[in-house]
Amino acid sequence: MATDSSSQRIGVVGYGHLGQYLVEKILKDGSALGLTLAFVWNRNPDKLKGSVPAELILCDLTSFADRRCDVIIEVCHPQIVKDFGLRFLSQSHFLVGSPSALSDPDLNQKLRQAAWQYERTLYIPSGALWGGQDIQRMNDSGKLKALFIRMSKHPSCFRLTGDVLSDWTEGEGRRVLFRGSVAELCPLAPNNVNTMAAAALAAGMLGFTGVQGEIVSDTALSDYHVVEVEVSGPDGFSVHTVRRNPAKLGAVTGSATYNSFWNSLLFCKGHGGRVYLC
């Protein structure tokens, strides 16, 4: 498999807002950066017609290997990671846009083993996580003692399983929806807590069960999402960051995260058989 920056072939799985952004960027700016679009897949292929060149539309995801990709990006749903992650890694590097899928310990371990076996990299984009590399360095040095993340959004921006937020009303203000381990949060909000999942992967010693998270619905947040990260180390060391990510009402992903994903893709040039936060 080629990893030369002049011939990086990229497959994009998912054509929601983030997938559309990445496809447009690759088509517009990819050539100058050594990126070529190999295919785009979407659950509903009709959504691609008229927007994606016909020769780049992949109708059957099981035939992805025919497109000979260097990197496959998933920006679709955690189920795709479960169903295709191992197969993707057998053929290419894999950028996981839904790292909440890795809260499943069995899948997490199998993907790590596949990365090692096939000498591919399982890339985890930082997304809306600020200071992810610092968290990872503290973890790797054994100095990370605790990690807590709070994500606050307008209720229209959440995509939750069940009826946790079905009764929200305008003007109700702030409501804590859940507080607990990220392992418990991921199945509740698989499309909303990928930032927390990335943090749990960076904080490997704590993992999904050790990293604590909280999701908050706040009708006052009509223009942005808020991500708060509290890191604790030895001897009273602590860091508290607050990130305000501009976002429209109903948007699952804040606008600044789009560019973050693009920058993550530019790092995907092969880092050995391991998990790599980018």
- Give the domain range for residue 233: 132-252
**What six digits make up the tokens of 13?**
């799985």
> Are both 217 and 261 inside the same structural domain?
no
Contact 149, 202 (CB under 8 A): no
**Total domain count, the chain:** 2
Same domain membership, residue 185 and residue 112: no
Contacts of 242 (CB under 8 A, 6+ apart): 226, 227, 228
- In a shared domain, residues 108 and 159: no
Q: Are residues 140 and 116 in the same domain?
A: no
User: Taking all residues of the chain, what is their mean pLDDT, rounded to a whole number?
Assistant: 93
> Beta strand 8-13 with 35-41: parallel, antiparallel or unpaired?
parallel
Integer angstrom CA distances of residue 258 from 99, 146, 252, 265, 266: 16, 28, 11, 11, 13
pLDDT at 164: 81
What is the average pLDDT across 24-50? 95
Residue 1: the pLDDT is 40
The predicted structure's pLDDT at residue 190: 87
- pLDDT tens digits for range 90-99: 999 999 999 9
Indicate if 40 and 110 belong to the same structural domain.
yes
Looking up tokens 């310990």 gives 105
Residue 217 falls within a domain, yes or no?
A: yes
pLDDT higher than 50, residue 3: no
**In this structure, are 165 and 228 located in the same domain?**
yes
Same domain, 193 and 153: yes
Distance CA 24, CA 26 (A): 6
Using one digit for the tens of pLDDT, what is the confidence trace for 219-267? 999 999 999 999 999 999 999 999 999 989 888 888 888 899 999 999 9
> How much is the average pLDDT of 166-183?
93
Q: What is the mean pLDDT of residues 161-171?
A: 86
Place 146 in a pLDDT band, splitting at 50, 70 and 90. Answer: very high
